[in-house]
């Protein structure tokens, strides 16, 4: 930052500041102009680096270094009991992932929980956005109300939901009991536990996504609806043929963000179980993030945990690449029409 | 902020006369049909679903542990709220935790907004070598799962003797790739390149350009980013529970996790702790709800 | 999410060299910034530990409610040594505490002057970290003969360095509810109850079957199958490792016996299908939905807290079928601590028989210093909440009969997976014994494989 302010301090103001008294002779004026233009060139060339420097400095220290270190560790046999004591293992930590059924189980769980949490969440968000897009009395109240779960932390939300989903005394089982459904063991069942974990994610994020959809809906030009109405399209058909196509980039955006969140899902399954990182007796809701945590912090295998971390990273990069391809496709098809 | 105006119909006749409204509000708002009875029913349902877990947190916090283990579960407030809050406050070190979280979330928000705006501006409007490569690096960073860095990061802060100190959670989160990308996307559209070029022609240094042109233009997005970052930092949990301890120098989430995982505290006390940790943000949402909603929506369009 | 790609600019060599300068400058700036932060924090660190107003601060790092502070031992020590200040940091769960301790030992920083270690981890600590810990055997005030020999050995390396001093041990009894026993037609007097299953864990199962015949509605005989398994495992010398350090749990008949008994309890429907130390377990205490639980001495306070007023005068403690041990801890002094000498003195004082007796009196943690057993605070101890049961005598008997257990570095992981993965499936999901065993061993194999 210091270098930046040095170049900036003596520079003349944009609004044509009053000339300084000692600068009156024409000869020095020319020299000054030259100096100024040199300074100007320096400024243009170097200031961008100064602007991005803070980000990359912090990123290098707290992002890149750990990333590379983890990559290096993933090629070694290394234990938390002696983190500096590394034994070269090549790609062993990766190749074993292929036959590690706990890894595949975690991947499968991450995928199913991702689906169960993302699909209903975005559909509901779309529906809520549609409702909010009507002209309403007190619409701001509904918007703020829908957003409040977003203000709740993973920890607080999960603790409440774990209580609501309690087997013996939980509110949800009590409610189901009223309509004649026996107590469900939300912790133990394969699907029930995944639904319970997903419901926390859905609760926290639906309102937020609804607002994003709502914003996109409100920026759709009215003419499109007008001409659709002239063609005799019903409201539903208008929604399908005007609203949805116009929302496509936004939907893609929310899909990507939700997918990234789903792949990294960690806090909910960790706290939902109350203890340990197994994600239930049968590992039924152990996600990749949780499995990584278990390998690194419970089983103390840093090398294996690092390999899982990098596998997650690669999965996310893959998702990013797919997203980029779809986005390019979309842009092209938009360009064609 | 056009989206906000439709909440407050200015005159009664506008509420009923659709044509008149269209004239007043222009083509954009004209699409907005009146919500029917079922729209309200559905929205009330959504509201109840959104608020119920929070209300129930308060109900549970106001009961005793044994009452929570009865059927039917309590549906209304009991008399133990203050006892439980007090217990949670002391047990979980909540006073320190709230203050710490305020410091952390505040610093992180300011840092993120400042650094992201600068970097976002450079990526959006300035020319320099390796720009695309670096931008790609920024975007790639968004994909890094936070779990990935925990172990080396932990060793790093242990090396620096930062365990149990706030900078251990502030510095690693002080910049986010999302923030840079977000500001870049916003400034790409919101900041006319001609404006910068004109200023350059006038001989303005780049620091003046940033101060007098970029910051004013970026202000709405900075507010949104600051708000998003604040909420995120307030609720951050994965890294803080590793870097800090609940008895040492906790943030709210660390204190809450500690409380929840402790052997001693009752369920009702844990709920009281959850309430304490959530309340500040909830109050902020109640007071600034309109601005926050508007901010998120505005950010969404541009980002 | 659209990324526009502007034209690249050609670069000349001159530009490149300037860029290098810039990068170097920026790097220097960043290093300075980081260094500044580090300096700041160092000051902060020094204020927290080390000398304060000429006083020496000793930090103690523990997990859970360790009891030392709660029993007033720090206050007493500080009163006796006015220039010592003791500060404690506590992490609630050992499963969070232990990895942190390991990384801090590895990094050689961020450590308290005294660090607690749970018995399930002590073997690994002794085996892998002993070079980073102070040998406490020669600290003045430490006398090997005052401790239970096996406890002393557990904290000692093969070459004779004692890096962990024992605090408490976990001799077990069976806590039971008199009201439920009465309704089910079982005896309620603690001696008669002890006789009911004396000498054989299978008799405990038989008592459960009897209980079930007349069981009060919505109650079970025990809390969990996992609890039964853990208690049985704790009554044998060899568990998961043999003396040479080999992992033998898969073929060890003792482990098999414990497993089978747990399965029997589950399959006979004698359990409340709970998981220990979960909130549902707490709720079950509050509602009195199970009649017995095998309880180490340190668990009595927990039960009292959770069962609350409703359970007052209902609970009592009987002898376990066989003497058994569950849990217990050690304290260590890391070499990287700031005041190792003072810390060692404090550690010696804290684990001396007199202090252990006080700890038992106040917190229920049973002494590992056998010399404490004859002190009146232990020998005459009664627990009012548990119908004035003579817990000093009950647990001393269990402690003296408890086997000298062979520990191994991965005890915790094996025990956890057998319980929380294997037995829990049998108990809560009705998985067959074979399948659950397979699932547990698979998880353990995976966890042990580096």
Asked if B132 and B236 sit in the same domain, the reply is yes
- Domain made up of C54-169+328-374: CATH architecture: 3-Layer(aba) Sandwich (3.40)
What mean pLDDT do residues B1-15 have? Answer: 34
φ and ψ of C326, to 5 deg: -140, 110
Q: What gap in Å lies between CA C59 and CA C84, rounded to an integer?
A: 10
Digit-coded pLDDT (tens) for A131-187: 998 888 888 899 999 999 998 988 899 989 998 998 888 888 888 888 888 888 888
Give the one of A4, A12, A208 whose C-beta lies nearest to B296's C-beta.
A208
Highest mean pLDDT among A220-234, B30-44, C84-98, C412-426: C412-426
φ and ψ of C403, to 5 deg: -75, 160
- Only one residue has tokens 């000339």, namely A19
Residue B154: closest C-alpha in chain C: C103
CB atoms within 10 A of CB C7: 7
Contact flag B118-A54 (C-beta cutoff 8 Å):
yes
Whether residue B23 has pLDDT greater than 70: no
B30 within a domain of the structure (yes/no): yes
Give the per-residue pLDDT at B3.
Answer: 34
Q: What gap in Å lies between CA B52 and CA B117, rounded to an integer?
A: 38
Digit-coded pLDDT (tens) for C292-338: 999 999 888 888 888 888 888 899 999 999 999 888 899 999 998 88
Asked if B166 and B246 sit in the same domain, the reply is yes
Q: What is the mean pLDDT of chain A?
A: 83
The two tokens of residue C257 are 């016996």
Give the per-residue pLDDT at B32.
Answer: 61
Whether residue C16 has pLDDT greater than 80: no
C220 to B65, C5, C265, C269: CA distances (angstroms): 21, 69, 10, 8
The answer to whether the CB of A262 falls within 8 A of the CB of A117 is: yes
Residues of C with CB under 8 A from a CB of B: 2-6, 8-9, 11, 15, 19, 37-38, 40-42, 44-45, 64-65, 88-93, 96, 100, 103-104, 106-107, 109-110, 277, 279, 282-284, 286-287, 302, 305-306, 308, 310
Q: How sure is the predictor about B22, in pLDDT bands with cuts at 50, 70 and 90?
A: very low
Give the per-residue pLDDT at B17.
Answer: 37
Whether residue B16 has pLDDT greater than 50: no
More confident residue, A325 or A32: A325
Q: What gap in Å lies between CA A43 and CA B127, rounded to an integer?
A: 12
Asked if B126 and B258 sit in the same domain, the reply is yes
Whether residue C418 has pLDDT greater than 80: yes
φ and ψ of C127, to 5 deg: -75, -40
Domains of chain A with CATH codes: 99-336 (1.10.3720.10)
What mean pLDDT do residues B68-90 have? Answer: 81
Digit-coded pLDDT (tens) for C221-233: 999 999 999 999 9
Q: How far is CA B91 from the centre of its chain?
A: 27
Whether residue C69 has pLDDT greater than 60: yes
Give the per-residue pLDDT at A297.
Answer: 82
B144 within a domain of the structure (yes/no): yes
Task: Give C213-238 as a 3 state SS string.
Answer: HCCCCCCEEECCHHHHHHHHHCCCCC
Asked if B156 and B175 sit in the same domain, the reply is yes
φ and ψ of B191, to 5 deg: -115, 110
Same fold: C54-169+328-374 with C171-326+390-448: yes
Q: Which residues of A touch C1 (CB under 8 A)?
A: 249, 252-253, 256, 323, 327
More confident residue, B113 or B8: B113
Q: What is the mean pLDDT of chain B?
A: 79
B–C CB contacts, 8 A cutoff, strictly below: 101
Q: What is the mean pLDDT of chain C?
A: 84
Whether residue A287 has pLDDT greater than 70: yes
How many domains would you assign to chain B?
A: 2
Q: How sure is the predictor about B301, in pLDDT bands with cuts at 50, 70 and 90?
A: low
- Range of the structural domain that residue B44 is part of: 2-79
B134 within a domain of the structure (yes/no): yes
Highest mean pLDDT among A184-188, A331-335, C65-69, C80-84: C80-84
B262 within a domain of the structure (yes/no): yes
Asked if B157 and B133 sit in the same domain, the reply is yes
Asked if B163 and B274 sit in the same domain, the reply is yes
Whether residue A6 has pLDDT greater than 60: no
The residue ranges of every structural domain in chain C are: 54-169+328-374, 171-326+390-448
Give the per-residue pLDDT at C90.
Answer: 78
Asked if B144 and B163 sit in the same domain, the reply is yes
C137 to C62, C140, C252, C312, C405: CA distances (angstroms): 21, 8, 34, 44, 21
B85 within a domain of the structure (yes/no): no
- Only one residue has tokens 């040095």, namely A6
B84 within a domain of the structure (yes/no): no
End-of-domain residue from the set B79, B108, B130:
B79
End-of-domain residue from the set B79, B103, B133:
B79
Asked if B50 and B15 sit in the same domain, the reply is yes
Weakest-pLDDT range from A177-191, B2-16, B289-303, C300-314: B2-16
Digit-coded pLDDT (tens) for A252-275: 888 888 888 898 898 899 888 876
Q: Which of C156, C408, C138, C174 is nearest to C300 (CA)?
A: C174
What mean pLDDT do residues B176-190 have? Answer: 86
End-of-domain residue from the set B58, B79, B100:
B79
* Residue C319 DSSP SS3: strand
Asked if B290 and B243 sit in the same domain, the reply is yes
Give the per-residue pLDDT at B247.
Answer: 66
B250 within a domain of the structure (yes/no): yes
Q: With pLDDT > 70 as the criterion, what percentage of chain A qualifies?
A: 90
* Residue C409 DSSP SS3: coil
Give the CATH class of C171-326+390-448.
alpha beta
Give the one of A36, A67, A163 whose C-beta lies nearest to B149's C-beta.
A67
Cα four-point dihedral sign B92, B101, A316, B156: negative
Q: What gap in Å lies between CA C269 and CA C205, rounded to an integer?
A: 11
Give the per-residue pLDDT at A45.
Answer: 78
Give, as one character, the DSSP assignment of residue A96.
Answer: H
Give the one of A162, A283, A301 whose C-beta lies nearest to C450's C-beta.
A301
Asked if B54 and B130 sit in the same domain, the reply is no
Contact flag A102-C446 (C-beta cutoff 8 Å):
yes
Asked if B123 and B169 sit in the same domain, the reply is yes
Tell the burial category of B158 from Cβ atoms under 10 Å away from its Cβ (0-12, 13-18, 19+).
buried
Q: With pLDDT > 90 as the criterion, what percentage of chain C qualifies?
A: 50
Q: How sure is the predictor about B199, in pLDDT bands with cuts at 50, 70 and 90?
A: confident
Asked if B98 and B70 sit in the same domain, the reply is no
Give the per-residue pLDDT at C25.
Answer: 41
């Amino acid at each position: 930052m210091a270098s930046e302010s040095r170049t900036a301090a003596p520079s003349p103001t944009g609004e044509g500041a009053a000339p300084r008294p000692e600068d009156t002779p024409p000869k020095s004026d020319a020299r000054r102009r030259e100096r100024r233009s040199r300074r100007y060139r320096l400024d243009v060339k170097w200031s961008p680096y100064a602007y991005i420097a803070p980000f990359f400095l912090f990123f290098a220290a707290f992002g890149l270094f750990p990333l590379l270190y983890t990559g290096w560790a993933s090629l070694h046999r290394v234990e938390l009991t002696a983190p500096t004591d590394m034994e070269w293992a090549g790609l062993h930590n990766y190749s074993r992932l292929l036959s590690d059924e706990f890894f595949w189980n975690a991947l499968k769980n991450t995928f199913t929980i991702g689906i169960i949490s993302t699909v209903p969440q975005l559909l509901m968000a779309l529906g809520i956005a549609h409702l909010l897009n009507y002209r309403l009395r007190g619409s701001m109240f509904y918007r703020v109300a829908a957003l409040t779960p977003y203000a709740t932390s993973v920890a607080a939300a999960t603790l409440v939901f774990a209580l609501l989903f309690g087997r013996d005394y939980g509110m949800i089982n009590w409610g189901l009991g009223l309509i004649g459904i026996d107590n469900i063991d939300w912790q133990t069942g394969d699907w029930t536990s995944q639904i319970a974990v997903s419901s926390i994610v859905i609760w926290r994020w639906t309102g937020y996504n609804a607002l994003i959809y709502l914003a996109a809906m409100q920026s759709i030009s009215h003419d499109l609806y007008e001409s659709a109405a002239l063609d005799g399209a019903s409201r539903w058909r208008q929604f399908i043929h005007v609203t949805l196509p116009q929302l496509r980039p936004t939907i893609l955006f929310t899909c990507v963000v939700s997918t990234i969140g789903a792949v990294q899902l960690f806090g909910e399954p960790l706290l939902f179980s109350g203890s340990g990182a197994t994600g239930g007796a049968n590992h039924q809701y152990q996600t990749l993030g949780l499995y990584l945590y278990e390998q690194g912090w419970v089983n103390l295998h840093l090398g294996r945990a690092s390999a899982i971390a990098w596998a997650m990273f690669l999965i996310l990069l893959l998702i990013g690449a797919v997203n980029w391809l779809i986005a390019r496709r979309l842009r092209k098809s938009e360009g064609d029409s | 902020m056009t989206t906000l105006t439709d909440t407050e119909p200015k005159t009664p006749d506008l509420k009923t006369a659709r044509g008149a409204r269209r004239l007043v509000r222009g083509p954009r708002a004209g699409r907005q049909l009146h919500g029917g009875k079922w729209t309200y029913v559905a929205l009330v349902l959504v509201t109840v679903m959104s608020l119920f877990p929070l209300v129930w947190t308060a109900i549970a916090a106001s009961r005793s542990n044994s009452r929570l283990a009865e059927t039917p579960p309590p549906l209304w407030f009991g008399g133990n709220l203050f006892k439980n809050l007090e217990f949670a406050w002391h047990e979980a070190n909540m006073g320190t935790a709230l203050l710490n979280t305020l410091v952390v979330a505040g610093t992180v928000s300011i840092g993120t907004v400042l650094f992201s705006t600068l970097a976002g501006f450079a990526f959006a409007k300035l020319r320099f070598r390796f720009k695309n490569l670096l931008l790609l690096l920024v975007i790639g960073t968004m994909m890094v799962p936070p779990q990935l860095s925990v172990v080396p990061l932990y060793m790093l802060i242990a090396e620096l003797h930062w365990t149990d100190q706030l900078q251990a959670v502030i510095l690693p989160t002080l910049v986010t790739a999302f923030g840079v990308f977000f500001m870049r996307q916003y400034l790409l559209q919101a900041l006319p390149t001609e404006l910068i070029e004109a200023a350059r022609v006038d001989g303005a240094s780049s620091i003046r350009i940033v101060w007098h042109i970029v910051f004013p233009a970026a202000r709405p997005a900075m507010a949104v980013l600051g708000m998003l970052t604040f909420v995120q930092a307030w609720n951050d949990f994965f890294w803080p529970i590793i870097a800090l301890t609940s008895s040492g120098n906790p943030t709210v989430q660390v204190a809450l996790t500690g409380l929840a995982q402790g052997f001693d505290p009752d369920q009702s006390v844990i709920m009281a702790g959850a309430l304490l940790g959530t309340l500040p943000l909830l109050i902020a949402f109640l007071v600034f709800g309109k601005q926050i909603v508007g901010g998120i929506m505005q950010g969404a369009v541009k980002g | 999410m659209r990324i526009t790609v502007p034209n690249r600019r050609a670069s000349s060599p001159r530009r490149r060299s300037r860029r290098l300068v810039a990068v170097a400058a920026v790097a220097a700036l960043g290093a300075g910034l980081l260094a500044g932060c580090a300096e700041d924090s160092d000051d902060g660190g020094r204020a927290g530990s080390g000398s304060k107003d000429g006083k020496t601060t000793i930090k103690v790092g523990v997990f859970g409610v360790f009891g030392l502070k709660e029993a007033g031992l720090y206050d007493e020590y500080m009163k006796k040594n006015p220039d010592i200040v003791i500060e404690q940091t506590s992490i609630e769960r050992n499963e969070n505490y232990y990895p942190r301790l390991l990384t801090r030992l590895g990094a050689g920083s961020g450590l308290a002057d005294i660090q607690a270690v749970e018995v399930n981890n002590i073997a690994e600590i002794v085996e892998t970290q002993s070079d980073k810990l102070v040998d406490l055997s020669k600290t003045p005030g430490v006398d090997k003969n005052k401790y239970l020999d096996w406890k002393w050995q557990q904290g000692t390396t093969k070459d004779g360095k004692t890096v962990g001093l024992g605090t408490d041990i976990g001799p077990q009894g069976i806590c039971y509810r008199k009201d439920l026993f009465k309704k089910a037609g079982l005896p309620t007097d603690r001696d008669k109850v002890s006789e009911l299953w004396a000498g054989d864990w299978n008799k405990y199962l038989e008592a459960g079957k009897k209980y079930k015949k007349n069981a009060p509605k919505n109650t079970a005989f025990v809390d969990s199958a996992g609890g039964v398994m853990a208690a049985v495992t704790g009554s044998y010398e060899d568990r998961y490792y043999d003396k040479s350090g080999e992992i033998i749990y898969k073929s060890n008949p003792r482990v098999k016996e414990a497993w089978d008994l747990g399965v029997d309890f589950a399959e006979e429907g004698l359990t409340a299908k709970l998981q220990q130390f979960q909130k549902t377990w707490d709720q079950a205490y509050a509602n009195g939905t199970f009649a017995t639980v095998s309880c180490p001495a340190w668990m009595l306070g927990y039960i009292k807290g959770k069962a609350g007023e409703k359970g007052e005068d209902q609970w009592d403690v009987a002898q376990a079928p066989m003497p058994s041990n569950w849990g217990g801890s050690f304290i260590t002094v890391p070499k990287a601590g700031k005041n190792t000498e003072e810390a060692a003195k404090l550690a010696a004082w804290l684990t001396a028989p007199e202090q252990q007796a006080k700890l038992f009196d106040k917190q229920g943690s049973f002494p590992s210093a056998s010399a404490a057993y004859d002190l009146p605070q232990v020998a005459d101890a009664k627990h009012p909440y548990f119908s004035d049961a003579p817990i000093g005598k009950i647990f001393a008997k269990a402690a003296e009969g408890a086997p000298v257990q062979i520990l191994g570095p991965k005890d915790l992981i094996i025990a956890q997976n057998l319980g929380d993965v294997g037995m829990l499936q049998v108990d809560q999901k009705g998985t067959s014994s074979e399948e659950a065993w397979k699932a547990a061993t698979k998880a353990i194999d995976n966890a042990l494989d580096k």
